[in-house]
Each structure stands twice: as C-alpha cells, then as structure tokens.
Amino acid sequence: MCARRLDLAEWFAEFCARWRVCMRCDLDRHTTKHAPGDGALVRPIMFIGEGPGKQEDLAGVPFVGPAGQLLREAIRKAGSSLLDYFLTNLVACRPCDFRDGPNRPPFPQEVSACEPRLRALVGVLNPRAIIVVGYQTSELLPEGIRREGWARGGLYVIEHPASILRRGGSTGPRGERWRKCVAAALGRISKGG
C-alpha cells in the first residue's frame, strides 16, 4: 500500500503540474492559481463542487473559502477524517468574466473542456463514492462521471454550503439540517450504500 501511495503522490504532483498550465478554455485568462484538487489519494470519498471561488483561486486549493470551511467542518462533525476525502470541482479555474469579478457558474463548454481532468481523477483515485456539492453542479455533471459514481458505490447530491451561508448562516436550523444531510450521506457510504 505504501508504494501505491507514493506512486499516486508522484502521479498527482505531475497531474497538478500539467493542469496548472491548462489553456483548454478561456477561464485560465483570469485565474491566479488553478485548483485541480486536494485530499486523500487512495479510494477517497470524492466531493465535486462547481468551481473555485475567489479564496480557492488565490490558494490553488478547492473548498478553502467560507463555504469550503463549512463543508470541511461538517465532514469533521460527522465523525469522519478529512484524510478519507478528495475535494475537487467541475472546473479547476475560477469561473468569472474578469479577474476581480463575481463568481459565476461554469458554462457547459468550460465543464466539457475540464472533463478529461475530472475523468482522470475518478479513474486513478478510484473513489468509493461521489458526493456532488450543489444542485446546479449535479445539473452540469458530465454523464460519464455520473455513471462512474453509481458504479463505484453511489452518487449523492448535497446542497451547496454557500447556499446555507446565503440563507441564514450555518448556525440556525437550516445549517443543522444541512449538517445532518452531509452526515447521513457519509454514513450511508461508510455502511456500503
């Protein structure tokens, strides 16, 4: 297993280096740092969001802004270790129309341009299951990735944590219900379905 981890770590370092210079679509024009993914490399539970936000663009790591911190906290509160998860997005570059502009959903052609990256991650990391972060993300999820999720142990969709933050914050009843949904999905995966 140790050799596999080393091989995966080397593969992932090369993978990130390759995708950090990607110019398959126009999103890279306004990108500070590509954010291909972060987390466990051996049979993780894979979380797929829509695209990096401003904080993720600056760090080059997915899910580090306020919504990402809420997601990471929900994973911890569910009694799970972040060492079992891999976090990524449909696109590795921040979807925006100018460098300091607001985030926007990725366009279908941008998702298509980044699909080989996502397919490679799913194929090599062999996730136990896929959790799609956000209903809009689930609408944009390529069909091949959707099928892979079902074949590998399940495809789950949770509300995006940014939606929770926009609609009353993380401390109220809505935030607690959302945390319970995250915990329930993780519980089902850990029980095998």
| pTM for the predicted model, two decimal places | 0.91
Bridge partners of 40, per DSSP, are none
Number of domains making up the chain: 1
- pLDDT over 50 (residue 181): yes
Q: Which domain holds residue 115?
A: 2-190
pLDDT tens for 71-100 read 999 998 887 766 789 999 999 988 887 777
CA distance 72 to 17: 25
CA atoms within 13 A on the CB side of 179: 20
Render pLDDT for 12-63 as a digit per residue (tens, 0 to 9). Answer: 999 999 888 888 888 888 888 999 999 999 889 999 999 999 999 999 999 9
The tokens describing 98, both together, are: 């100018």
Q: What is the domain-level CATH number for residue 44?
A: 3.40.470.10
Burial class, 159, CB count within 10 angstroms (exposed 0-12 / middle 13-18 / buried 19+)? middle
Per the prediction, the chain carries an average pLDDT of 88
